[in-house]
Copies of this chain bind each other. A is one copy, B any other.
Amino acid sequence: MPKVGMEPIRREALIKATIAEIGETGSLDVTVSKIAKRAGMSSALAHHYFGSKERIFLAAMRHILTVYGRWVRCELGTAKGPRARLDAIIRASFEAGNFEHEVIAAWLNFYVHAQSDAGAARLLGVYHARLRSNLVHDLRPLVGDRAGETAETIAALIDGLYIRHALVAPPDGVAAHARVTRVLDKLLEDT
């Protein structure tokens, strides 16, 4: 029973299914058929809406970034003052949802994809730039000129801890957050 206005519903279902499927297999070796089946439709329809497997992946990545961005804004909403805001940004990065198996898988594959796919590379660049600019914005009042440099250090530390917790250590957002905070405090001391 075909309905009207299905497009957004189908697209969303496909994006969710893509992330779930990547999470389950742990790789990008995911077939459009499986994604479509999980989303409750034929693979032909998936192609109809997205045009290609590539585009389905890109949409899924964009979705993950959107969710992440939403979390950052959410955490920032209640934070008062630069130090609290920095804390909020860090907290958003280690929010429990980020350690869902499927989200981890999507991020890692995102990294790999960025090597060969221009669209993915661009998206990843957007994420990096955004994190950096968020950090710089609140570091400036605290460390002045050293804001850029400090932001890069913190950003790298966040990424590194994320990967370690995601892949090897047990995921522990609180511990990760504490560790970044500690370094941040040290770096702020100087001034």
Contact = CB atoms under 8 A, between A and B. Distances in A.
Q: Interface residues of A toward B: which range?
A: 35 or more
Q: Which of A28, A128, A160, A169 has the most CB of B within 10 A?
A: A160
Contacts of A60: none
Contact of A186 (B114, B152, B164, B186): B186
Nearest to A186: B186
Interface in A110-161: 111-116, 121, 124-125, 128, 149, 152-153, 155-161
A108 interface: yes
A51 B116 CA distance: 25
Contacts of A128: 164, 168
A92 interface: no
Given A159-B164, A164-B152, A115 B105 contact: yes
Given A109-B112, A115-B27, A183-B183, A164 B153 contact: no
A183 B187 contact: yes
Nearest to A149: B179
B25 A163 contact: no
A133 B20 CA distance: 35
A108 B112 contact: yes
Interface of A: 25-29, 104-105, 108-109, 111-116, 121, 124-125, 128, 149, 152-153, 155-161, 163-164, 167-169, 179, 182-183, 186-187, 189
28 contacts: A25-B116, A27-B112, A27-B113, A27-B115, A28-B29, A108-B111, A108-B112, A111-B111, A111-B112, A111-B167, A115-B167, A124-B168, A149-B179, A152-B179, A153-B157, A153-B179, A153-B182, A156-B157, A156-B163, A157-B157, A157-B160, A159-B159, A159-B160, A159-B164, A160-B163, A163-B163, A186-B186, A186-B187
